Structure 1
């Protein structure tokens, strides 16, 4: 994957939108997010009476004229937001005529670009077989090319244990954690809940981005077929009928509803997309609908 996947028009749109965070960050270096800490940024917050040691240049002379006392202006200090990406690099993500892995990498790149463009910090980690592999933390627009190069080098050939992987990633309190996966595993949502508990404990805004191939959303099989688990190699022979496909779609819908309900329980958001969708429609459409972007 490279910059050629994002045309000039798409970058212009990305420059006009920003990640929506419902947190006022109180830690981190100076950046583009409002903090509970008081500092010297350009946004006015309050007045307080002058104390020895304060910067004399910050005295408000209009207030002095009215009250015959020295007051200084206090501004809202800005901190950088921290965006933690968790990318599922299991073998099941390498599936579909429009591969799920390509959409996952494009989404991570686009969202990283938005975060970096708004003076936030990006941490990208890949998940495989319960392990976690973290790239070097990135900040500033110049870091985007390095992120693209590192995303290009990811190989999707592992297995899935999202919870074990996520809990291995040390996180600073307060931030945004974006988990990108198909969320297809043999453990259901019970295992996922432990990961969400951990992220919520670390005061993360949680975003679950599910990517499914069009073949998984709308299967079109006839007669007998052998299904092979891409991660375990196990296979199952089935005779496919319209009723079975109908039941499958119903179960997938119910499963996704359970993930969405679980995400809401921990203050998070769940977004499900098809790998056949254009990245512009995913970022500017689906993320905007969920008020993740504004």
Structure 2
């Protein structure tokens, strides 16, 4: 997968960017993020008056000479960020000439690389029929190849119930949750909002990534056509007309706007991409526009 999707030039670009994170971490193991906890990293934070039990080596003797009191240097401790990926593995994701599932896996792989490269932790979860499966929790640069192998083994043959799936995932407070799906389901916006409420309650930075195929975004005019629900096998026959396609595009636009509004309500970000886009354009373009990367 790595040879087909990523080239040396793209890896060089990934090495120069990082994930935005909107808080200072107060828990977790040592990593590359600034924490509220005070520790002994190389970055100076503040002074405080010496207390019994403090390390004498941290006494600032210049401050003692000025104030005739012992002061110790306090440094900003670094913690790892935790990035939780939720991948929709429903059958509807396995669609399109430029397949949605392939683009979804590329997005997760690229973001995982960025996360690991910046000493943060990746948790990858797949969602199917209201259940959730954690397929990988990893940290460190060497973990990337293992994540790629796990992603390659995902089969997109389930049904959609994102809300129930997400609620079944215990989350450590203070993290980033990235949901990758087409969000084309029968749950409705109310159920999606319940999932966002849960993530917000768990103090997650929320990012929703919608993957749509070009056929879904720009349907062609083909007169009589039968639509088949890939998850339920239900079918509907319709006569496509220019006016009907126009109405469809308007409805899709309004639906995407509704998802974006709900996501913003809980402090999150919504990104919708076409599966025919190059992965570089998605990561370095669309994600950068939303200030998810810097």
- Normalised TM-score (structure 1): 0.99
Counterpart of 2:218 in structure 1 is: 218
What's the secondary structure of 2:173's corresponding residue? coil
1:52: how far off? 2.1
Residue 188 (structure 1) aligned with residue 191 (structure 2): no
Residue 17 (structure 1) aligned with residue 39 (structure 2): no
Residue 74 (structure 1) aligned with residue 84 (structure 2): no
1:239: how far off? 0.4
CA distance in 2, matches of 1:164, 1:269: 21
Counterpart of 1:57 in structure 2 is: 57
The answer for unaligned runs of 5 or more in structure 2 is: none
Counterpart of 2:112 in structure 1 is: 112
Counterpart of 1:139 in structure 2 is: 139
1:136: how far off? 3.0
Cα contact 2:24–2:35 (8 A) shared by 1: yes
Cα contact 1:3–1:148 (8 A) shared by 2: no
Counterpart of 2:31 in structure 1 is: 31
Residue 274 (structure 1) aligned with residue 274 (structure 2): yes
Counterpart of 2:173 in structure 1 is: 173
CA distance in 1, matches of 2:214, 2:136: 33
What's the secondary structure of 1:65's corresponding residue? helix
Aligned length: 294
CA distance in 1, matches of 2:100, 2:139: 27
What's the secondary structure of 2:116's corresponding residue? helix
CA distance in 2, matches of 1:217, 1:162: 22
What are the residue-to-residue correspondences of 1:220-239 with 2, within 5 Å? 220-239=220-239
Aligned Cα RMSD in Å? 0.8
1:58: how far off? 1.1
CA distance in 2, matches of 1:287, 1:194: 25
CA distance in 2, matches of 1:96, 1:293: 27
CA distance in 2, matches of 1:185, 1:51: 59
CA distance in 2, matches of 1:104, 1:167: 21
Moved over 2 A (4+): 1-4
Counterpart of 1:124 in structure 2 is: 124
Counterpart of 1:259 in structure 2 is: 259
1:129: how far off? 0.6
Cα contact 2:87–2:125 (8 A) shared by 1: yes
- Normalised TM-score (structure 2): 0.99
Cα contact 2:125–2:136 (8 A) shared by 1: no
